[in-house]
Structure 1
Amino acid sequence: MFKFNFEVELDSSEDPDSVKSPIFDNEGDSKEPEPGTIKNVDWYKAEEVKPTDNLISTLDYYELNAKEIKLGNTIIKHLVAGFLLEDIKSQSNLEDLDIRKSEENHSDLIAGVYEGGAKIWECTDDLLIYLSEKLENSFWKGKRVLDLGCGSGLLGIYALKNGAQVDFQDYNKDVLEYITYPNILLNLEETLTDDEKLEFLDKNTCLYAGDWFHFTQLTIDVEKYDLILTSETIYNIENQQKLLETFAGRLKSDGIVLVAAKSHYFGVGGGLEQFSDKIKLGKVFQSESVWQADKNLKKGDFAIKIYINYIKNVFGLHN
């Protein structure tokens, strides 16, 4: 994991939240990724996603098919991906879902269509452990948190259960409706009535689908975040500029970003070491690694380093 912060000199008369990052000075970078491995991708526009009408009525069914993760004093429940995917495939009215298309194509990634949100990736588990071991429960009180590229939403759910107000973003609306929302509900207090659960969601969370660039534009007037959590989101070099711009556009002046990722992603070219070099070249952020581990991840003799990086937005101010 690494951290990074803005390297922007700030005039004392300026409002830190209104300062425009140099990332946005290059309009070519700020709109769409430069041509490369993936070309002519029609990325989904961003939209806010509300709970489906039958979400509450299916909660008991979800409860029977959920598992638990214990992190210190915090227990997180989540749907088992295999059960969920089989359930989706069995329903003929859900044949147009992007999740279903990915299953039929036996692929976790379909450019512009599906970005692997049904799977809980390895770095998410590591970042959850890091949060539980390094941050006191009191840290989360009153914080605004964004779980970016959330998938199952476990990072945001951990923050939510410890007192933060949390927004969730994933590329696929299907993932938010059929995975993230159910997982959030599974972790609300059982004593709450159905109406109280929906009221809690309305007051404490917002869920957004779509491309990062469009998400940043959609939420331009929404209060910025104290903390952005993101895991396994740097594998596509084509999208890294948009990711950095999202950090710049959605993070408070004293906020932090925690990024968990592998040192290398086979077959797609991205990786944390490469991403760190991109940050340095941009001269906008600072970053540092605060945790790392070597793991054999089904790649023969390859041991892949997993990092957690810490990024602090200080706009030229010293820590």
Structure 2
Amino acid sequence: MKPQLNTRELTIYLPGLTLAVKVAASMEELITDPADEDNIPLWADIWPAARGMARHIWECLDFSGQSVLELGAGAGLPGVVCGLKGARVTFSDYKPGALELAAMNARSSGVKDFSCFLADWRDFRLDRRFDWIIGSDILYDPKFHPYLSRIFEQNLKPGGQLLIAHPGRPATFNFIEEWHKKTGRPVTEKIIPVTIEDPYFPYYHVHIHQF
């Protein structure tokens, strides 16, 4: 029998919307091998980039009748907000616990039109194209860039849009610049201030790039 994922609740405040979102109760208890970066449970919490993206989606975008693939979904906050703005959402992650959280949060928030896809970016076999692909802080490590570039090429519809959020990481800026040169697609950038409950690093500037 699969062990139950212990959770705690975070309250996410967006203009005119309050969401109760489940995350893992403790990231530390999920770490089985600290030396294995593939098993560091980054999916188990909601990071600043996801909060900034969720706010941008809620305030600025409409997904009525459109399909959205969220990569590295984790607890699924941005995908949930896409669903609330009318999207058919596919949450994707490489850890079952992440998709368990995303599905739990989608259902509790009233999102009905969603699915989950379990896959590693390095072996991503999804035979579908989407109107949008979104990702929060997924381009933090250059070694994943070739795999993500391939996913963008294979799973984004012609004329589809890419939405990337990050807290100012140089590796992500480098990818954005290279992708812009490679594809010739225009890109817009917006910066959203995010505050989290952290005594040491509470303030972030989240960069939103849209192609």
Judge same fold: TM > 0.5, yes or no: yes
Question: Which structure 2 segments of 5+ residues have no match?
Answer: none
Residue-by-residue CA offset, 1:145-164 (whole Å, 9 max, x unaligned)? 11111111001111112321
Letter in 1 for 2:107: L
Question: Which structure 1 segments of 5+ residues have no match?
Answer: 1-51, 90-98, 190-199, 265-269, 312-319
1:173 and 1:210 in contact (8 A); partners too: no
Q: Which has the higher contact order (CA 8 A, sep 6+)?
A: 1
Q: Out of 283-292 and 253-262, give the one that drifted further.
A: 283-292
Between the aligned partners of 2:41 and 2:23, the Cα distance in structure 1 is 18
Percent identical: 21
Residue-by-residue CA offset, 1:113-169 (whole Å, 9 max, x unaligned)? 34610121111111111112212xxx2221111111111100111111232110001
Q: Which residue of 1 aligns with 2:12?
A: 69
Query: Which structure shows the higher strand fraction?
Result: 2
1:114 and 1:171 in contact (8 A); partners too: no
Query: Superposition RMSD on alpha carbons, in Å?
Result: 3.4
Q: Which residue of 2 aligns with 1:249?
A: 154
1:289 and 1:307 in contact (8 A); partners too: no
Letter in 2 for 1:123: A
Which runs of structure 2 are paired with 1:204-215 in the superposition (5 Å)? 204-215=113-124
Between the aligned partners of 1:285 and 1:118, the Cα distance in structure 2 is 35
Between the aligned partners of 2:130 and 2:174, the Cα distance in structure 1 is 26
Which runs of structure 2 are paired with 1:270-289 in the superposition (5 Å)? 271-280=171-180, 283-289=182-188
Paired positions, count = 208
- Normalised to the residue count of structure 2, the TM-score between the two structures is 0.81
Aligned residue for 1:235, secondary structure, equals coil
Q: CA deviation at 1:219?
A: 1.4
2:31 and 2:40 in contact (8 A); partners too: no
Q: Which residue of 2 aligns with 1:232?
A: 137
Between the aligned partners of 1:226 and 1:145, the Cα distance in structure 2 is 6
Q: Which residue of 1 aligns with 2:163?
A: 258
Cα 1:145–1:280 change in 2 (3 A) is closer
Between the aligned partners of 2:161 and 2:52, the Cα distance in structure 1 is 18
Cα 1:285–1:248 change in 2 (3 A) is farther
Cα 1:293–1:113 change in 2 (3 A) is same
Q: CA deviation at 1:280?
A: 4.4
Between the aligned partners of 1:187 and 1:293, the Cα distance in structure 2 is 23
Letter in 1 for 2:133: I
Compare CA radii of gyration and give the structure with the larger one. 1
Cα 1:225–1:310 change in 2 (3 A) is same
- Normalised to the residue count of structure 1, the TM-score between the two structures is 0.56
